[in-house]
Structure 1
Amino acid sequence: MENLRKGFPVLEQYTYLNTAASGLLPEAVWEFRQNHDLDFLLGASVFKEKQAEALTETRELVGEVFKCAPARVALVPNFSFGISTLLEGLDKHPKALLLKNDYPSLNWAVTSRNFEIEYAEINENLEENIAEAFKKQQPDFFAFSIVQYLNGIKIDLGFVNKLKQEYPHTLFIADATQYCGTEEFNFEESGLDVLICSTYKWLNAGYGNAFMLFKKEMENRISPKTLGFGSLRGKYKAHEGNFIGKFEPGHQDTLNYGSLAEALKLIKKNGIKEISARIESLSNKAKSEFTEMDLLEESVVNRKTHSSIFNIKGGEKLFRHLQSKNIITSMRGGGVRVSFHYFNTEEELHFLLKQLREFGV
């Protein structure tokens, strides 16, 4: 486990249980960023002429890690830009299905447009609620987070695959910001049509970078309106009318997208299977302990599988108490949200539990 903690100096001073809010910046990414800007300082346009190569490397790494052809990987600055560009490319009056109280940046993007919207409840019967909503009124698109930011409920991706087979004409659009980087994922074999992920959380890539993955047929289903000089530059975009180029209309930031490439190299080095096993082990232990202490909502307790994000009962005083012990968490939805990544340890979980008991929760 110590090998997985190396390169994250924040862990030397904090018990960091807050990846669901902001991932850590690995030393490997920091070193890349220092060298990148030094090269820019000394080389200016000579250095920037290599921009296309750098972006191609990032695009290909994203495709390799998440099993999607590079020509269908778009590099975008953040989730909100990606989802807004996508929605502007849809028919003006489609029927949409959302999850009630899903991540605001996802739901707001949909509700701010002239769509006909239905909702499914997020609880222990999440999949059944979604299936019923589909039967009631088949949506033109279903937009949802794979993992819920408030309480960590994770949708069953096997269920999504089956639902897509039953409703092949519905677009399945997933926010994977709280998911990618936690377990192995094959986009091509999934039931998703579009995946969007900001990478500053579980991928530890810093801010200002995100990516989108598309199934091939999306070129005929989505018509983005954006276009700029950057839309036609690069190995996978150098032809007029290029689909992914319409999600990349301007100059691309090689500092931020290069940071994503370095973060993905670190994931490959550590091994996504090893990362997933560490996270799953910590999640199972945490859920068992939190359940025994009656700290979780019933909808989480009653789920068979869960992510590594938990919202435990407690308010501002508990949050401040944990903060005084250098345990970093977030206040979310009236509770204290904790999240465990692969660099966290059982010792840190036990330290958290000790502080919760001493506080008297």
Structure 2
Amino acid sequence: MAEDSDGFRQCIEREFPALTRRPYLDTACIGIASRRAIRAVSDFAHSVQHCPEVSGTAQHSRLNEDRASARPLAARLIGADLSDIALVESTTHGLTVAAQALPLQAGDEVLMCDLEFIQMGLIWRQLSHTGIKVRVIPSGAGAITADMIREHLGPRVRVLAISSVQWTNGFRADMATLSQLCRERGIWLVVDAAQHLGAWPFNVKETPVDVLACGGHKWLNSPFGTGILYLSPEIRGRLHRPIAGFFAAHPPGRTWGESFTQPDLLPLREYEFTDDALAWEIGGTGNYPGAVGLAASLSVVLELQPHRIARHINELTDHLIEGLDRLGVEVVSPRAAHHRSGIVTFSVGPGAPDNAVMKHLLQAGIAVGVRYIAGVGGVRVSCHAFNSAQDVEQLLGALDAWVGRRVPRRAAHPKPLRGAGRTAEIASQRTLIDALDDDLMGLVAARALVSRGIQRSRLEMRGARTDLTREREVVERFHDRLGPSGTRLALLLLHMSNGHT
């Protein structure tokens, strides 16, 4: 167990170095990219500055292969087959594709609860012109159970649309029971897993669902505009197919690149489309850097292992809830272990009081948020793999200070409070500066690496090691943007890129 724990910590320290200096507890809003993901996207961006392949056709083929590298990792994460995974832009995109693909008819009903994220209701409401109706189940004390859902299952209910983890209070649904219930009743189970995957294990073989959508920019720590859509092989043959691009069709030749060279190729002909989930992708040129970043991010999650991440999160949320209880603060999130997630929400009073606490914590350099839906919510704290017990202690300490100041303050003591607030703000901004410096140093090292590769290529071509005309262009560009300081910076970068330190 010690080696297991050591490996977990080493991976976190290696991939998220900046977060060792700042309590970032807002992953439920947007995650923090790992060093591996940043490097993957940076390397990709550098590679497309010139065409490393023999032709544009070969280059485009390689880009498609790079994008496709995210699919097997996503499949492994949720226990699916490769053919079950489509790459989408976000959770919203995935749910929209699913809503349009399901074979629903006028009079069919979609069941959802009032805890859902705005987009869940928005998607289904926009299908009202087709005669599809949406029924909303009122949650009880911030929870939605199988018994509550069972009571609302009328004869016209065809879809249960639910978030496996709710976004305001972190309630984790009993997906195993809901899966069984839907399969017994012949109801489509559509799952929003945006607040689940990356923090908690989910296996579609063990817990069958029909559709699962998850953006990469939250708990998967890949904020680059790419997510995953799982479509069960049991349902794909019954789904409406989108108007897809040619990458979703089988090429007339061995590859599309080869097909384009055939004189008898025509734009209007019969095409055979794949039965894989990728048929529900756009089928054209995709978000290549996003998929590359997602693949790298998924590799980090798989290295850390979802069950170890969940165990670590459990320890942090236990510690946080105990601390909130000591402070006499209301815990809005569920306490039962089987309904807990990485989100712990607390409240000192709806509206202005909760927002005041959030502002206080932000000024102390602790990133949190405030979220409400249907009257449920408060100050939302997200505990993820890269967080530590020290992060939780820092939050509890700042909250303790706020609770202690809830009594009316005397007018004679405004300056120390303002000074303390300024000090905390400076500390927070310095943390950001440190993170930016880390990024700058990484970019300088990456630039030097690419530059030396160019130098080697020039020498292999029997050319000069450096191109003075090119170096002059670099200096001029830095000077135009940054003035005389830019000139000095450009000369220093060129000096370092030529192998000097």
Are residue 242 (structure 1) and residue 275 (structure 2) matched?
yes
Match of 1:133 among 146, 152, 176: 152
TM-score normalised by L of structure 1: 0.91
2:390 matched residue in structure 1: 347
2:206 matched residue in structure 1: 189
Q: Is the 8 A contact 1:97 1:139 kept in 2?
A: yes
2:264 matched residue in structure 1: none
Equivalent residues, number: 358
Q: Which moved more, 1:320-329 or 1:330-339?
A: 330-339
1:25 matched residue in structure 2: 33
TM-score normalised by L of structure 2: 0.67
Q: Which moved more, 1:92-101 or 1:150-159?
A: 92-101
Match of 2:188 among 167, 171, 178: 171
Q: Which moved more, 1:332-341 or 1:148-157?
A: 332-341
In structure 2, C-alpha distance between the alignment counterparts of 1:56 and 1:302, rounded to whole Å: 39
Q: How does 1:1-361 map to 2 (within 5 A)?
A: 2-3=9-10, 4-43=12-51, 45=56, 46-90=58-102, 91-93=104-106, 94-114=108-128, 115-124=132-141, 126-127=144-145, 128-134=147-153, 136-137=154-155, 139-167=157-185, 169-232=186-249, 239-240=272-273, 242=275, 244=277, 245-296=279-330, 300-301=334-335, 305-314=339-348, 315-333=354-372, 335-360=378-403
Q: Is the 8 A contact 2:332 2:344 kept in 1?
A: no
Q: Is the 8 A contact 1:232 1:242 kept in 2?
A: no
Deviations 1:134-162 (A, max 9, x none): 2x455101111111111111101222233
Q: CA deviation at 1:226?
A: 2.5
Deviations 1:299-348 (A, max 9, x none): 73477531121222142221111111100011212622111001111111
In structure 1, C-alpha distance between the alignment counterparts of 2:99 and 2:34, rounded to whole Å: 33
In structure 2, C-alpha distance between the alignment counterparts of 1:350 and 1:239, rounded to whole Å: 58
In structure 2, C-alpha distance between the alignment counterparts of 1:123 and 1:5, rounded to whole Å: 40
Q: CA deviation at 1:77?
A: 1.0
Deviations 1:229-263 (A, max 9, x none): 2322799x994253521333321222111111111
Distance 1:325 1:226, change over 3 A: same
Distance 1:10 1:224, change over 3 A: farther
Deviations 1:33-54 (A, max 9, x none): 1110111112173533212322
Q: Which moved more, 1:296-305 or 1:90-99?
A: 296-305
2:162 is paired with a residue whose SS is: strand
Distance 1:305 1:101, change over 3 A: closer
Residue type at the aligned position of 2:174 = D
1:328 is paired with a residue whose SS is: coil
Distance 1:298 1:351, change over 3 A: closer
Residue type at the aligned position of 1:179 = H
In structure 2, C-alpha distance between the alignment counterparts of 1:294 and 1:148, rounded to whole Å: 24
Moved over 4 A (4+): 301-304
In structure 2, C-alpha distance between the alignment counterparts of 1:166 and 1:292, rounded to whole Å: 45
Q: Is the 8 A contact 2:320 2:396 kept in 1?
A: no
Task: Give the helix-richer structure, 1 or 2.
Answer: 2
In structure 2, C-alpha distance between the alignment counterparts of 1:31 and 1:352, rounded to whole Å: 31
Q: CA deviation at 1:288?
A: 3.1
Structure 2 unmatched ranges of 5 or more: 1-7, 257-270, 349-353, 407-501
Q: Is the 8 A contact 2:332 2:347 kept in 1?
A: no
Distance 1:117 1:291, change over 3 A: farther
Q: CA deviation at 1:184?
A: 2.2
Q: Which moved more, 1:255-264 or 1:115-124?
A: 115-124
In structure 1, C-alpha distance between the alignment counterparts of 2:70 and 2:272, rounded to whole Å: 20
1:327 is paired with a residue whose SS is: coil
In structure 1, C-alpha distance between the alignment counterparts of 2:65 and 2:294, rounded to whole Å: 14
Q: Which moved more, 1:76-85 or 1:16-25?
A: 76-85
Structure (1 or 2) with the larger CA radius of gyration: 2
In structure 2, C-alpha distance between the alignment counterparts of 1:102 and 1:74, rounded to whole Å: 23
Deviations 1:105-133 (A, max 9, x none): 11210112122111222335521211211
In structure 1, C-alpha distance between the alignment counterparts of 2:384 and 2:332, rounded to whole Å: 23
Q: Is the 8 A contact 1:40 1:48 kept in 2?
A: no
Q: Is the 8 A contact 2:331 2:344 kept in 1?
A: no
Residue type at the aligned position of 2:110 = A
Q: CA deviation at 1:60?
A: 1.1
